[in-house]
Amino acid sequence: MNTKFQFLLAISFLFCVSSFSQELLTKTEAIAKALDNNYGVKVVKNDVEVAQNNASILNSGYLPTLTANAGATYNIDNTEAEFSDGSTTTLNGAESSRYNAGLTLNYTLFDGFGRSYNYKRLKEQHQLTELQARETIENTIIQMFSVYYNVAQLSLNLEALQETLNITKDRLTRSKYQFEYGQNTKLEVLNAEVDINNDSINIINAKQELKNAKRDLKVVLGESYIDNFNVETEVNFTLKFQKDSLFKKAKERNVALLQTEKSILISELDINSGKSAYLPTLGLVGSYGWNRSNNNAASFVAVSTNTGLSGGLNLSWNLFDGGSTITRVKNAKINLETQKLLREDILLSIERDFNNAWDNFINKLEIYNIQEKNIITAQNNFDRTREKFKIGQINSIEFRQAQLNLLNTELSRNQAKFSAKLSELQLLQLSGELLNTTF
């Protein structure tokens, strides 16, 4: 095995090791990590759990309350007692004690339907919290993809810059050979060296931007992910809806609109709950008690023990509470009107935002398709220019211009691709279809 072959084998081995050390973070894995570890998502999950607890039967007021109580009293008294037959007795330090225990049951039979409306309100509040959590999850996914695709774009940009540098290095080598054989001047060599330095600087900057973008992605993922990872650079445009059908979904499934509609229901329940205070409250009371008394010698009964059950109904009717109920009902009606106004405002905003998002997506997708075609033209132009440069029909300046044209076209294509994909995701979010999309 000759030395050159050993060197090439070592280079190939190092390249393979480097390739395998780059762990691929897929879009599906990134979404899962963001939803599991992102701190904003964790907070809203806790909010949903609290709302679910609040909406349970244990917090509804429909269950009775049962209270246990017990007590003990110990007395030391100095007593002078005169009996009916005229006899008297004096006791110093006479001891006596009393003990009691009991259970008390309270249950509201009727409260003007207040607890019924409150229980329904808690159910609606739970659903509203779930919608708020959905909005946070959708925003987190959009944020994650914005950073994820930024990493993907910078990765492709770095590859294009590296290829540009390789071409420039090959040009420098060729220029040196031609100078040695007197086919060109030293100026061609110097121009190539300057271009290599510029390409190297661009790569250094691109690498730093890529590192920063990966750190941003790790923050969105909410965990200390490995630094040495790659992302998927291919995108698929999955929008399958026509504009009219997608706009219909936006008016039905937009999360902001759904939250407002849920707030309207809650406001209506607040009005009914407030009105319930105008009606009386009927409650059931029951108790079981045990009492024991150990009396001193001056008492006719030395020891007495009582046990028993008691029950009853109580009726209360707040005929006038100073006007607080009237004020509460009036404010609830005003809040209902406010929620309805917000709903109309959101509908107008949805129509505007949807049309803007749709046009933005269509335009960016068209730009991306044009850039794809432009890549073919720029590549053909560069290939022909390189062949002419090899046979000396054009100078290095013309060659460099064709090279930069190809690089700029590739960078523009990369930007157009991921910009169009983000526009599609934002359109799906606006229409309420983001969480139903396969990424």
pLDDT per residue over 128-137, tens digit each? Answer: 999 999 999 9
pLDDT digits (tens, 9 = 90+) for 357-403: 999 999 999 999 999 999 999 999 999 999 998 888 888 889 999 99
> What average pLDDT does range 6-27 have in this prediction?
52
How far, in whole angstroms, is CA 422 from its chain's centroid? 18
pTM: 0.83
Work out the pLDDT band at 186, boundaries 50, 70, 90. confident
Rounded CA separation 283/111 (Å): 8
> What average pLDDT does range 266-282 have in this prediction?
93
> What average pLDDT does range 269-290 have in this prediction?
93
CB-based contact 189:179 (threshold 8 Å): yes
Helix or strand (DSSP H, E) at 247: helix 243-253
The strand pair at 229-231 and 65-82 is best described as unpaired
Which token pair is 378? 């720029």
In the DSSP assignment, the letter for residue 142 is: H
Work out the pLDDT band at 92, boundaries 50, 70, 90. confident
| CA torsion, ordered 145, 151, 156, 158, to nearest 10 deg | 170
> What average pLDDT does range 193-208 have in this prediction?
95
Residues 6 or more apart whose CB falls under 8 angstroms from that of 313 comprise 109, 282, 283, 284, 285
Work out the pLDDT band at 172, boundaries 50, 70, 90. confident
Which token pair is 331? 């404010």
- Predicted confidence at residue 11, as pLDDT, reads 34
CB-based contact 119:61 (threshold 8 Å): yes
Query: Which runs of consecutive H residues, i.e. helices, occur in 25-113?
Result: 27-37, 39-54
Sign of CA dihedral 259, 261, 266, 270: positive
- Predicted confidence at residue 437, as pLDDT, reads 84
The single residue listed with the structure tokens 């899962």 is 32
Say yes or no to pLDDT of 17 above 60: no
pLDDT digits (tens, 9 = 90+) for 244-257: 999 999 999 999 99
- Predicted confidence at residue 303, as pLDDT, reads 81
- Predicted confidence at residue 359, as pLDDT, reads 96
Residues 6 or more apart whose CB falls under 8 angstroms from that of 295 comprise 96, 301, 302, 303, 304
